[in-house]
């Protein structure tokens, strides 16, 4: 991956387009923030620590898509019970992801790369799977255009590592165009039987490359 695109051009393009989109979409972002606050409560933004390049943590920004509903014990209800109709529409349209433009502008993320998952997954990865953190995490990625949340964890990680090994401007451009098509079709937003994706619990006896 030691070429000029990977080292310099990719980051410049990320910064330039993130800045343009934030300015151009600022009216939409303001409307969405107001709608989320009205329907799901404040704050409108969901903030969570996620691992970035090299596993270094950063704060991910998204629009909230779930309510704060809790059970009698005070613990939050399962995701599928807190995900409202409005939240499902927000997710299926991918509009909940727009605040991640801030992460791209800051350099936490890229437009294209493996999706940033949860901090608790880091020790559960095999050495092969952990290679997904050799690059910046992305708003979209190679796994997302091959099924998003409707594929298995193993398939997702294999696609992520393939991307790390083949990162180039041509690959990134292809992923961007295929992502736009997938968003319009609203493909693969959820895994079957889950509001999003079941928790990754580890590999057991997975073979390593």
State the Cα–Cα distance between residues 201 and 156, nearest whole angstrom.
Answer: 14
Helix (H) or strand (E) holding 166: helix 153-166
Per-residue confidence at 7, pLDDT binned at 50, 70, 90? confident
For residues 131 and 65, the model is more confident at: 131
Choose among 45, 55, 133: nearest CA to 97.
Answer: 45
Q: Is the pLDDT of residue 102 over 70?
A: yes
Per-residue confidence at 208, pLDDT binned at 50, 70, 90? very low
In a domain, 202, yes or no: no
Q: Is the pLDDT of residue 77 over 90?
A: no
In a domain, 197, yes or no: no
In a domain, 199, yes or no: no
Mean pLDDT calculated for residue range 122-151: 90
Is the separation of the CB atoms in 76 and 69 below 8 Å? yes
Is the separation of the CB atoms in 181 and 148 below 8 Å? no
pTM above 0.75, yes or no: yes
In a domain, 172, yes or no: yes
> Which domain range does residue 53 map to?
4-185
Q: Is the pLDDT of residue 60 over 90?
A: yes
In a domain, 204, yes or no: no
Choose among 110, 129, 113: nearest CA to 121.
Answer: 129
Least confident of 5-14, 84-93, 134-143, 185-194: 185-194
Mean pLDDT of the chain: 86
Residue 97 CA to its chain's centroid (Å)? 7
State the Cα–Cα distance between residues 209 and 128, nearest whole angstrom.
Answer: 6
Q: Report the number of distinct structural domains present in the chain.
A: 1
Helix (H) or strand (E) holding 57: strand 57-63
In a domain, 201, yes or no: no
| Residue appearing with tokens 């959820």 | 190
State the Cα–Cα distance between residues 149 and 151, nearest whole angstrom.
Answer: 6
Is the separation of the CB atoms in 96 and 78 below 8 Å? no
Q: List the end-to-end C-alpha distance of the chain, in Å, as a whole number.
A: 19
- What residues form DSSP beta bridges with 60? 48
In a domain, 191, yes or no: no
In a domain, 39, yes or no: yes
């Amino acid at each position: 991956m030691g070429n000029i695109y990977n080292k310099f051009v990719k980051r410049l393009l990320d910064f330039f387009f993130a800045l343009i989109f934030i300015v151009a979409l600022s009216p939409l972002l303001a409307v969405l923030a107001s709608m989320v606050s009205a329907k799901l409560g404040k704050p409108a933004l969901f903030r969570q620590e996620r691992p970035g390049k090299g596993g270094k943590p950063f704060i991910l920004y998204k629009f909230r898509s779930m309510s704060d509903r809790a059970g009698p014990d005070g613990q939050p209800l399962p995701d599928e019970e807190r995900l409202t109709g409005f939240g499902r529409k927000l997710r299926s349209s991918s509009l909940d992801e727009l605040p991640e433009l801030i992460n791209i502008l800051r350099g936490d993320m890229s437009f294209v790369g493996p999706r940033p998952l949860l901090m608790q997954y880091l020790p559960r990865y095999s050495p092969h799977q952990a290679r997904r953190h050799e690059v910046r995490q992305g708003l979209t990625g190679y796994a997302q255009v091959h099924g998003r949340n409707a594929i298995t964890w193993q398939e997702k990680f294999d696609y992520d590592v393939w991307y790390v090994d083949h990162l180039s401007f041509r690959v990134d451009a292809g992923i961007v165009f295929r992502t736009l098509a997938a968003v319009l079709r609203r493909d693969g937003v959820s895994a079957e039987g889950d509001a999003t994706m079941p928790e990754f619990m580890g590999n057991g006896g997975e073979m390593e490359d």
